[in-house]
Amino acid sequence: MKEMKEWKVVTDSPLQTQRLAEMIGRILSAGSLITLSGDLGAGKTTFTQGLARGLGIEKRVTSPTFTIMKEYQGRLPLYHIDAYRLENITQDLGFEDYIDGDGVCVIEWAGFIEYVLPDELLNIEFTINDDNSRTLLFQGHGEKYEEVISQICTQWE
């Protein structure tokens, strides 16, 4: 895997997590891939809701846990995949079409389908802190995602 750029930020509320994600949604381009990892309730879907707003999506975003994937239309399409139920599945599920597609692909629990992921992506690890805040660790794999991190850390601070 290529070099990686990291950035860590603490958000104090779901609203702050959504505001950060909304800012990111405004700068993403077609073909962007974001993977989200962290415990249940850590804020992955909350983040995706803010990202959707940044993409101009007005429809309410909910977790695709039982449907595996939901698609939303905005400035760019948003493909929201929850791979939690896909552990130990090795068949071709057609996700490559969305990962390399014309929109933004967000995958929760991406570790369960690592075999379909490209080397270049933006991974965000969510950690719940003792005070109920969240630490988000951004890891940009590839030049495109290193640039996204540079832009957001400059705009956020």
The one-letter amino acid at 21:
A
pLDDT score of 1 = 45
pLDDT tens-digit map of 34-52: 999 988 889 999 999 999 9
- How far is the C-alpha of 125 from the C-alpha of 133, rounded, in Å? 14
Q: Are strands 121-128 and 134-141 parallel, antiparallel or unpaired?
A: antiparallel
* Domains parsed from the chain with CATH numbers: 4-156 (3.40.50.300)
- State which amino acid sits at residue 122: L
| Lowest mean per-residue pLDDT among 12-26, 46-60, 96-110 | 96-110
**Percent of the chain scoring above 70 in pLDDT:** 84
Burial state string for 73-91 with b = 16 or more CB within 10 A and e = fewer than 16:
ebebbbbbbbbbebeeeee
Q: Are 32 and 105 in contact (CB under 8 A)?
A: yes
State the average pLDDT over residues 88-97.
58
Query: Could you tell me which residues are beta bridge partners of residue 136?
Result: 9, 126
- Rounded distance between C-alpha atoms, residue 128 and residue 126, angstroms: 7
What does each C-alpha distance from 6 to 38, 54, 82, 115 come to in angstroms? 16, 22, 24, 23
- Tokens 């389908």 correspond to 113
pLDDT score at 95 = 62
Q: What is the pTM of this model?
A: 0.88
